[in-house]
Amino acid sequence: HGPTRLADYRPTDYLIDTVELDVRLDETTRVVSRLRLRPNPLGRAGAPLALDGGDLKPLRAVLDNQPLDLAEVATPERLTIAEPPRRAFTLEIETELDPAANTRLEGLYRSNNTWCTQCEAEGFRRITYYLDRPDVMAVFTTRIEASKEEAPILLSNGNRVEAGEAGPGRHYAIWRDPHPKPCYLFALIGGDLDSIHDEFTTASGRKVDLGIYVEKGKKHRAYYAMQSLIHAMRWDEFVYGREYDLDVFNIVAVSDFTMGAMENKGLNIFNDKYILAVAETATDADYARIESVVAHEYFHNWTGNRITCRDWFQLCLKEGLTVYRDQEFSGDQRSRAVQRISDVRALRAAQFPEDAGPLAHNVRPDTYREINNFYTATVYEKGAEIVRMLRALIGHDAYHAGMALYFERFDGKAATIEDFLSCFAEAAKRDLASFAQWYAQAGTPRLHVKGVHDAKAQTYTLTLRQETPPTPGQTTKKPLPMPIRIGLIGRDGAEIPMVQDEPWSAREAKFGVFELPGAERAIVFKNVPTPPVASVNRRFSAAVILEMDLSEDDLLLMMAHDSDPFNKWQAAQSLATRLMIRSTAAIRAGEMPEFSEKFAEALGRALEGYEGDPAFAAQMAALPSENDLARDIGCDVDPEAIFLARKALRDGIGRRLGQRLVTVYDKLHSDAAYSPDAASAGRRALRSACLDLYAAGNHADGADIALTQFQRATNMTDKMGALTVLSRLPTPTREKALDFFFRAHCQEPLITDKWFSLQATIPEPDTLARVKRLTKIHAFNIATPNRVYALIGAFANGNPLCFNAASGEGYRFVADLALEIDRVNPQVAARVLSAFRSWRNLEVERRAQAEQALKNVSDAPKLSPDLRDIVQRALA
Ligand code: DPP
Ligand code: ZN
C-alpha cells in the first residue's frame, strides 16, 4: 500500500462512544467486543464503515442483533459495512487469537507466560476490528477471564469495578476506565505475578493505590521504581500543577517488550530493564534510566493520554514534550549540568546522525509508510529540544502560562502541533509561525559564529549566521528562530559583564539568551577593552552544530574557567575532537598521531579538581566516541583510522597522567554501603573513568587494579566498571573474568545482556567471530528484543571498528540477522537495520560493501513493511 500523508487527514465518518471487551484468556483466546458507534457529524453521511484488522480471525459479527455474513464483510485486515445505520448502533464482533504464537509482540501476546498487550501504534487491530487511530476516543470497560492458577492477577485500564468466580478453576475481573481514550492506550494483563504496593495522596487529597507487578521472585527489585514513580507524581503537581486522575496506578514489568515502556492509561507496561534494580544487578546508569522512564510514562498521563494526538504525524506532540518533561525532572533529581551533558551526548549520538543521513525526517513527518519506524530520536529527542528552545525564547512565565492554556483547552481532545503552539503564541503574545518550521524541516542547523574585537571602540561584535544543509526531499531550508545563550570570558578567566550597544530585548539583557530570528544577526557588546573569549550556546540552548574558530588557548581557557559547566565540558570535547580528527588524517597518511601535553594537563586538573561535582568530572574524562568523531568528520569516514586516533590519545593521556589518575581513583574509594543517589553515583563514575584512562596507558597495572575492583565489588556498577576495563585489554585475565561473570549471573537475563554488550563492543578483529558464537548459546534468543539489542545492537551501533570491517563481513552479519529477525519481530528487525543510517558517509570501499549488504536485504523475498521501509529509504 502507498504512503500515508498528513495532508490527507480527515475526521472519521463514525465515532465510537463505548467499548465493552470480554476477553477469555486461554491457549486460544476469545475476544468479544461490543462497540457503540454513531455517525460523526464532521464525517461523510452514509459512508461505509471500515474497521481496521491486523491478521485477525473473525468468528462472528452482529449489527444491532442482526448477524452479518463474515464471508461478505470480513477479511483478516478489514471489516467493512457498506451501509451502516444513520443513527447510533451497536456492533458486536468476536475474534480468536493465539497469543503464544504472537512473536511480533504487538497486540495480545505472552511474555514468559504472562498475557500482555502492546497497542501503540497499531496493535489494537490485532486484538479486534476497530477504528485504530488516535482521534477515535471511547470509554472502555474490560472483562478479563482466566484460569485462577495460571493468571491470579488480571489487570486493565482504569479502576477495578468487579471481580469473582467464573466456573470451575476460573475467575474474572471487570475494569472500567472513565476517561475516553484512543485504543493505542488500551492494555490488559493476565498472569501469576508478584507485586509491591504503596500509596500516594494527590495535592487535592485523592488517595491513589500504586502497584508494581513483576515476574515471580523479582519484587525486591521493584522498590526503586516505586520511589521514582512517587517522585514523578509529586514533581508533576509541583512544576506543572498536574494531578493523577484515577484511584489506581499500576505498572507491570515484562521481559519481552520491543520498546522501552508504554503509557497505557492507569496501567503502564514496561520492558523489565526499566523497572528492576537492586545494587547487585543494576548499575548507576540503569537506576538513572529507570527513574527517567518511570517518570516519562507517568508524565504521559497528561501529555499523551488526557491530551492525545490527532493522528500519528503528531507523535512528537506527546513524545517531544514528554521527553522534555522527563529530562527536566531528572535534572531536578540529580545534577542539572550533568543531566544536560548526558542528554546532549545522547542527542548527538542518536539524532544528529539520523538528521544527516538518508533516514532524516521532520520532527513532524509529512508522510510515512510504517509509523512504527518513526519512534525515532528525531521525534523524541529533537522534539524535546524544540520545546526547550520554545521555553528559552518566550521565557519561564509565558511557557507555563502556555502549558496551563494547553491543558485547559485541549483536555480530553486529540490535538495537533498547531493547537500546542497556539497556546504559547497567545501566552507570549507573539507570532510563532516561523518557530513552527522546527517541526517541518529536517536536518541539523549549523550556526557559524565570528567574533571581532575593536580595540579603539572597545566593542566586541559577534556575528551569528545559520544555515541548514539539504536533506532527502528538502533541498532549500528556511532559517529557524533560535535562542543562543552567550557569555564573555576575559583572559583572566573572569566573566565580563555584557553591556548592550544597540537595544536588546529585556530577556536578552537579563539572561544573556539572544535570539537569532533569521539567517543572520550581529550583536555588539560595549566596554570590552581587550579581546574576550565568547562562550556561545551555553547549556546547549539551541540544538545546532556550532562552527566557531576558537583557538586552542581559547578552549583551554574555557576548560578551566567557563562558568557554564556545559561549555566547560564542551571545550574539552572540542579540543579532543580537533586533536583526534587531525590524528585520523595523519594516520591515513601513514604518519604519527598527535598528542597535546596541554590538553592532558588541563584534563588532569579537571579530574583532580572534582570536589564540587564528581559526576561532572567524569563527563570531562569521557572523550568523544568513535561515532562522535565519524559524525564530525562527515564524509570519507575511515572507522579504523578513527579508532587508532582515539586510542592513541587515550593511551597518551593515561601514560602522561599516570599515577595522578590512580590517586584520584584511590581518594574516591568508599566503604559505605551502596546507595544509588546521584552524589554517590558521581563518585563511582569518576572513579571508573580514572581507572579506564589509566588502564589505557598502563595495561598491566590497570588490569591489576581492575581485577581487584572486580573481585571486591559489592555492587554491579563497580563490577561492570572493572569488567569494562578488563574487557578492553586482550589478556587471559579478561577471558577468565568474563567466564566467571557469566557463571555467576547467567540465571539473570538482564545481567547476561551486559555481558553480551561488553563482548560485542570489544574493538578487536576476533569480535565478529565471538558475537557469532554468542548468538548460538542458550542464553541468546532472537525472539527477545532485549537480547537482540544487547548483542546485535551493541555490535552494530557500539563497535564501529568491527561493524565497519573493511571486508564487509560486519555489514553482512547484521543485514542477514535483520532478515532473520524480520520473520519473528519486524519492528526489532527495522531497528537493527537502522544501524546503517550513516553508510553514505563512509570511505568508498566500505560504502560499496555496506550498499551491497543493504541491497541483499532489499532483494530478499517477503520483507515486512517495517524492514522494507527502512531499507528503501536507506538506499534511496
Ligand atoms: N509511547 C511510548 C513511549 O513512552 C513508546 N512505546 O515512548
Ligand atoms: Zn513516550
pLDDT at 871: 98
pLDDT band for position 510 (cuts 50, 70, 90): confident
pLDDT surpassing 80 at residue 1: no
Query: Ligand 1: distance of its center to the CA of 370 in Å?
Result: 16
Cα 203 to Cα 470: distance, rounded to the nearest angstrom: 49
Residue 509 is predicted with a pLDDT of 86
259 Cα nearest atom in ligand 1: 6
| 504: pLDDT strictly greater than 90 | no
Query: Which atom, in ligand 1's list, is nearest to the CA of 293?
Result: 4
Of 185, 274, 375, the residue with max ligand 1 atoms within 8 A of its CB, to mutate for a pocket test, comes to: 375
Length of the chain: 876
Given a cut of 80, whether residue 216 has pLDDT beyond it is yes
- What structural domains does the chain harbor? 1-191 (2.60.40.1730), 746-876 (1.25.50.10)
Distance (Å, rounded) from C-alpha 820 to C-alpha 841? 27
**Which ligand 1 atom is at minimum distance from the Cα of 380?**
7
Is there a contact between 619 and 341 (Cβ–Cβ < 8 Å)?
Answer: yes
* Alpha carbons 314 and 304: distance in angstroms, whole number: 11
Distances in Å between the Cα of 704 and the Cα atoms of 157, 711, 828 are 53, 11, 39
- Amino acid 834 reads S
Could you give the angle at which helices 552-561 and 565-588 cross, rounded to 10 degrees? Answer: 140
At how many degrees (to 10) do helices 699-712 and 732-745 cross? 20
Give the contacts of 25 (CB within 8 A, at least 6 positions apart).
Answer: 99, 115, 144, 145, 146, 147, 150, 151, 190
Does the pLDDT at position 501 exceed 90?
no
Q: Is the pLDDT of residue 861 over 90?
A: yes
Please indicate whether residue 297, judged by its CB atom, sits closer than 6 Å to ligand 1: yes
Q: What is the DSSP string of 452-504?
A: EEETTTTEEEEEEEEE---BTTB-------EEEEEEEE-TTSPEEPPEESS--
Cell of 135: 482521534
Q: Residue 876: pLDDT above 90?
A: yes
Closest-CA residue, ligand 1 atom 6, reads 262
CB 480 within 8 A of CB 507: no
pTM of this structure: 0.99
548-606 pLDDT tens trace: 999 999 999 999 999 999 999 999 999 999 999 999 999 999 999 999 999 999 999 99
User: What pLDDT shows up at residue 274?
Assistant: 98
Determine if ligand 1 sits within 6 Å of the CB of residue 13.
Answer: no
Q: Ligand 1 within 6 A of 391 CB?
A: no
Measured distance CA(324)–CA(331) in Å, rounded: 11
Residue 502 has pLDDT above 90, yes or no: no
**Tell me: the pLDDT tens digits for 159-199?**
999 999 999 999 999 999 999 999 999 999 999 999 999 99
Whether residue 531 is predicted with pLDDT greater than 90 in this model: the reply is yes
Q: DSSP letter at 379? A: I
Instruction: Quote the distance between the C-alpha of residue 280 and its chain's center.
Output: 25
296 within ligand 1 shell (Cβ under 6 A): yes
Residue-wise over 124-160: b if at least 16 C-beta within 10 A, else e? bbbbbbbbbbbbbbbbbbbbbbbbeebbebbbbbbeb
Supply the pLDDT for residue 701: 97
* pLDDT at site 334: 94
Residue 384 has which C-alpha cell?
A: 524535546
Sequence-ordered list of residues with C-beta below 8 angstroms from that of 297, at least 6 positions apart, any chain: 251, 261, 262, 263, 268, 270
Tell me, in angstroms, the distance from the centre of ligand 2 to residue 117's CA: 16
Check if 259 has its Cβ closer than 6 Å to any atom of ligand 1.
yes
- Which atom number of ligand 1 is nearest to the Cα of residue 375? 5
**Contact partners, residue 259, CB within 8 Å, separation at least 6:** 118, 120, 271, 375
Ligand 1 proximity of 637 Cβ (cutoff 6 Å): no
Q: Is the CB of 120 under 6 A from ligand 1?
A: yes
Which residue pairs, CB below 8 angstroms and at least 24 apart, start in 398-405?
398/424, 398/427, 398/428, 399/424, 399/427, 400/240, 401/427, 401/428, 402/426, 402/427, 402/428, 403/240, 404/241
Least confidently predicted of 307-311, 502-506, 618-622, 638-642: 502-506
Q: Could you give the C-alpha distances from 863 to 550, 821, 851, 871, 876, in angstroms and in order?
A: 49, 11, 18, 10, 17
Average pLDDT for residues 304-323, to the nearest whole number? 99
Give the cell for residue 626. Answer: 568513535
Pocket test for ligand 1, best of 117, 122, 124, 263 (most atoms within 8 A of CB): 263
Report the distance separating Cα 732 and Cα 235, nearest Å.
Answer: 49
- Closest Cα to residue 688, out of 122, 174, 275, 283? 283
Separation CA 859–CA 856 (nearest Å)? 5
pLDDT greater than 90 at residue 818: yes
Nearest CA to ligand 1 atom 2: 262
Residue 372, helix vs strand vs coil? helix
Which ligand gives the minimal distance to the CA of 258? 1
Q: What is the reported pLDDT for 383? A: 99
pLDDT at 259: 98
CA of 143 to the centre of ligand 2 (A): 27
Taking the C-alpha atoms of residue 189 and residue 176, their distance in angstroms, rounded to an integer, is 14
Q: ∠ at Cα 875 (870, 876), nearest 5°?
A: 100
**Rounded distance between C-alpha atoms, residue 221 and residue 486, angstroms:** 44
Reported ipTM: 0.98
Whole-number Å distance, alpha carbon 337 to ligand 2 midpoint, is 23
Atom of ligand 1 nearest to the CA of 319: 7
Mutation test residue for ligand 1: of 117, 258, 319, the one with most atoms within 8 Å of CB: 319
Render pLDDT for 672-694 as a digit per residue (tens, 0 to 9): 999 999 999 999 999 999 999 99
Q: How far is the CA of 319 from the centre of ligand 2 (A)?
A: 5
DSSP codes of every residue in 308-356: EESSGGGHHHHHHHHHHHHHHHHHHHS-HHHHHHHHHHHIIIIIHHHHT
Cell triple for 187: 492494555
Return mean pLDDT, the chain. 98
Arithmetic mean of pLDDT, 107-120: 98
Strand order in the sheet with 545-548: 499-500, 520-526, 459-467, 446-454, 545-548
- The stretch 267-272 carries a mean pLDDT of 99
Q: Which of 297, 354, 594, 640 is catalytic?
A: 297
**Ligand 1 atom 3, closest CA:** 262
* Ligand 1 closest atom vs CA 118: 6
Judge whether 297 counts as a catalytic residue. Answer: yes
User: Counting ligands in written order, which one lies closest to the CA of residue 261?
Assistant: 1
Nearest ligand atom owner, CA of 270: 1
CB of 262 shorter than 6 A to ligand 1: yes
Give the C-alpha separation, 130 to 91, whole Å: 10
Cβ contacts of 350-354, under 8 Å, gap ≥ 24: 350/377, 350/381, 351/376, 351/377, 351/378, 351/381, 351/382, 352/444, 352/545, 352/631, 353/627, 353/631, 353/837, 353/838, 354/378, 354/837
* C-beta separation of 267 from 250 below 8 A: yes
Q: 390-428: per-residue pLDDT in tens?
A: 999 999 999 999 999 999 999 999 999 999 999 999 999
CA of 579 to the centre of ligand 2 (A): 38
With a 6 A CB cut-off, is 323 part of the ligand 1 pocket?
no
Å from CA of 323 to ligand 2 middle? 7
CA distances from 119 to 128, 323, 691 (A): 11, 20, 45
Q: How far is the C-alpha of 548 from the C-alpha of 486, rounded, in Å?
A: 13
Of ligand 1's listed atoms, the one at least distance from the Cα of 304 is: 1
Q: 796: which 3 cell numbers?
A: 552494530
Within 13 Å of residue 736, how many CA atoms lie on the same side as its CB? 7
42, 13 Cβ separation under 8 angstroms: no
Q: How far is CA 806 from the centre of its chain?
A: 30
User: Does residue 263 line the site of ligand 1, with CB under 6 A?
Assistant: yes
Angle at 509 between CA 508 and CA 515, to 5 degrees: 15
Of 105, 116, 122, 262, which is best to mutate to test ligand 1, by the most ligand atoms within 8 angstroms of its C-beta?
262
Question: Percentage of the chain surpassing pLDDT 70?
Answer: 100
pLDDT given at position 503: 80
Res 660: pLDDT: 98
> By CB neighbour count within 10 A (0-12 exposed, 13-18 middle, 19+ buried), where does 2 fall?
exposed
Locate cell 521493584: which residue? 222
Ligand with smallest separation from the Cα of 274: 1
Residues 634-668 have pLDDT tens digits of 999 999 999 999 999 999 999 999 999 999 999 99
Q: Which amino acid is at 755?
A: W
Model confidence over 333-385: pLDDT tens digits?
A: 999 999 999 999 999 999 999 999 999 999 999 999 999 999 999 999 999 99
Query: Which of 181, 186, 265, 300 maximizes ligand 1 atoms within 8 Å of its Cβ, making it the mutation to test the pocket?
Result: 300
Here the cell at position 455 is 580595540
Give the C-alpha separation, 389 to 392, whole Å: 5
- The pLDDT, as a whole number, for residue 736 is 97
